[in-house]
Structure 1
Amino acid sequence: MNSQTIKTWAWVHKWSSIVCTVFMLLLCLTGLPLIFHHEMGHLLGTEVEAPKMAPGTPHASLDKVLSVARAQHPDRVVQYASKDEDDDNLWFVTMTPTPAPTDDFRSVAIDARTAQVLAQPRFNEGFMFVMLRLHVDLFAGLPGKLFLGFMGLLLLVAIVSGVVLYAPFMRKLDFGTVRRNRRTRLKWLDLHNLLGGVTLVWLFVVGATGMINTWADLAIKYWQYDQLSSLMVPYQGQPTVPLAERGSVQRSLEAAQARVPDTKLSFIAFPGTAYSSPHHTTFFLKGNEPFTSKLLQPVLVDAKTSEITAAPKLPWYLMALLVSQPLHFGDYGGMPMQIIWALLDIATIIVLGSGLYLWLGKGRIAREPKEEAAEARALAGADGTP
């Protein structure tokens, strides 16, 4: 690799790193508690648990559960309903002023067996809510998500350019060498390169999946336009189904599960919401295996007649989105994977912090001895690298 090519790669690496590093630091810091979101919920006392009952206690009708939820907030409509991931005896019902997407929502936790209200947790406030919003969209909605997606793209550029630069810059040193007897700046540069190499694959995977996740809203809207619009032709000109005219949701759920056997419910999107149509109750079902439990199968059921309209297969881009979301937070392998994710996250924080230190302190190179300064300039051609 000639000197001009190295300079070009160094420029790309330096500026892609500098632009994204502060935001990547923010994402790593906010992502750390999110890795342990269930454990943090128990620690903060926000987790809801269903009371112990005899195994096999029958569940109440979903229609009764929804009726109880509506009675808590009669001025609101049910947007979504879902079973707790770890407890089949617990329903969470989300209620909003209108079916349209909004941050103004109320959640009602209901015992699936007795249809009694257990709690009304506030998921839109508190420490974990702030961490999630900062991590997902910086409290800026879709523009914030797309901005963070662009920062993720710059991170991938910085990683690729860093790999290209590492070999020629470190050709005289063994991998992982940390020159402890040299000046502080060179020791930090060696540590930066060492941890960067250790976290390379993980950071690329997390950065890529995070970038994909920022496209979720646009991907869903495109899916609705591209594949669901044809299913809405028979309903053209009809208003959203009023609550009084809707059929049994329990019967609709049973029909959906019969259409796709060996699955369990992930969540229900009611008519007019972002994940459904104005005329359907859409049931999102998932498999029972570790991998298939992350994939969803939508079943659209006519809200009036409780008859199935369609069960379309999700396109590849939504499948990629569903796979990337749990991988991003280490949700595939239980606690061992969460711990590994957390350790790599901490290592990445050190990489990003040392990159900032190297860039902010580059002016001190000129005051170092000539030989060391020349070496430092060569090795620090990618100051600020993540």
Structure 2
Amino acid sequence: MTGTEGEPRTIRTAVVGYGLAGSVFHAPLLATNASYSLDAVATSDAGRQAAASSRLPGVEVVRDGAAVLERAADLDLVVLATPPMTHYPLAKAALEAGLDVVVDKPFAVTSAQGQELVDLARQLGRVLTVFHNRRWDGDFLTLQKLLAVQGVGEVTRFESSFERWSPTIGKAWKARATAADGGGTLFDLGSHLIDQAIQLFGPATVLHAELTARRSDERADDDVFLVLRHHSGVVSHLAMNMLCAQQGPRFRVLGSIGGFTKHGVDPQEPYIAAGGSPLDAEYGVEAAEWAGLLGRDGHLDPLPTERGNYPEFYRLLAEKILDGGAESPLPLPVDPKDAVEVLKIIEAAHELG
């Protein structure tokens, strides 16, 4: 880490992959956090190389993860924003090169791979975390706050969905990827929904799974419905659909004294994609008309949405690394063991579906 005596240290960072995850999530969050210096971006795509050079002046643009690892001595942290099948080998190589590692979701393509990475990081004394960023969606933060004060009473059912109208597959690797490669919406959107459900209601088992491929070029799944039973007694219904012409609620929570229904999707991703900055006053702020409704039919009140806060992930990570890394008692933004549990649910769903 750079920084002379008396000056703040900065975490020298490289982002591997500059598609949606690298360009919209990781690079903007890192570039606007003074605890990090974004030193390198890796992408083999010529168009993305040009975009990275234009948007990130002074950042070295290299071809791939191997080129980043050749510079390991001049780095502290590597962020993997690459297709899922590359996560395990790249994360393993980065840890063995002495780097701390952020892995985008899904953590790996099997829970065994994920657990091996967790064990390796512990053995090597490196920081390892997984970018389950939707723990900082505004609607999810709102729901967490509501449940903390038992705003709907005892929860009996939790419904959560990510539904999109995407009749064609826009990315070449997604069109090629099978479930064994980490392809499909269960690995993609499902990783978020499962993680959120477990964060809210604790460990769970899969009671029912429907996995369907409706698009002609889909090699894994693009329409998924899961039923989870949490050890706490709550039942979660999770739906992911890439061919949905009319979207339902993002969340519906039913409880003993009321319910909460929320439509719409967190605005942070489209805001950055449109050229906004995480430092803008409007960043993460949802329009008032998208507020969820709390109560019972006939007695519904709007519940304003909390401000979304993806930058919190990298703030917490910087605190951990700068406080001593793996030896620090400070928490990780996401414990990678949580991501292993998500993969176990995905594996169980594949077996049932």
Q: Same fold (TM over 0.5)?
A: no
| Structure (1 or 2) with the larger CA radius of gyration | 1
More helix by share: 1
What is the TM-score of this pair, normalised by structure 1?
A: 0.23
More strand by share: 2
What is the TM-score of this pair, normalised by structure 2?
A: 0.24
Higher relative CO (CA 8 A, sep ≥ 6), structure 1 or 2?
A: 1
